[in-house]
Structure 1
Amino acid sequence: MERNWDLVREIMLNVRELPPRQSLRCTDVEGYDAEVVAEHMYLLEQAGLAEVTMSRSLNGPASGRVNRLTWDGHEFIDLMQSDTQWSRIKESLKERGVDFSFDALKGMAQVLVQGLISG
């Protein structure tokens, strides 16, 4: 499975909008296979961006839910929340031939935000 940054962003945006003590299940994300969503939820946990509960059966697909974003998760998604900003980040990385890694996305987002601030 290849990491899908648009899906990662969508999961995080959806979780951020939830009321306290409510979680996002892998079946709640429309337009994606639930098992793929569950695997991306697991990646969010590995990156320290979210608290996730995963279930795996021996013969069935993985499932999961995101319980909340971590502090770093909120910081990360705050940089990427705007559709315009998200498009700029992806386009800037493509133009420079940079791989879409967590550090590259975060770094480019910070550079673009600094440019907006210093105007």
Structure 2
Amino acid sequence: MGQIDYHLSLIREAGLVDIGGARPMVGIGFRRLSWAGHDFLDSVRSPDVWDRTKQAASAAGGFTVDLLVFAAKSYLEGKIKGFIGG
């Protein structure tokens, strides 16, 4: 399996995409992003948030998809608390 197919397979296994009921004959395909996929992409849409998320993963010496989501959401939560004074 090629590197792209492998990474798409991991994205599917992480629940970030929905492949629907059909299994493609060649390679990996998907029908749409899942709710979790949209949630993750929305959380790292800003270049600032994505850069901070990557910095946190790098400082930790490794990461999982769940940790990337956690890092991005934690950073955003801190920014929101700053805006609302919490």
Task: Give the alignment's TM-score, normalised by structure 1.
Answer: 0.57
What is the DSSP-based 3-state SS (H/G/I as helix, E as strand, rest coil) of the residue aligned with 2:28?
strand
Letter in 1 for 2:29: R
Alignment RMSD, CA only?
Answer: 2.0
Q: Which residue of 2 aligns with 1:28?
A: none
Contact map agreement 1:38 1:54 (CA 8 A) in 2: no
Unpaired runs of 5+ residues, structure 2, are none
Partner of 1:99: 62
Which of 19, 30, 43 matches 1:79?
43
Structure 1: 4+ residue segments shifted above 4 A: none
Shift of 1:98: 4.5
- Relative to 1, partners in 2 of residues 1:98 and 1:111: Cα closer, same or farther, differing over 3 Å? farther
1:117 is matched with: 80
Structure 1: runs of 5+ lacking an equivalent = 1-34, 57-62
Aligned residues: 79
Q: Tell me, what secondary structure is at the counterpart of 1:66?
A: coil
Q: How many percent of aligned residue pairs carry the same amino acid?
A: 29
Greater helix share, 1 or 2? 2
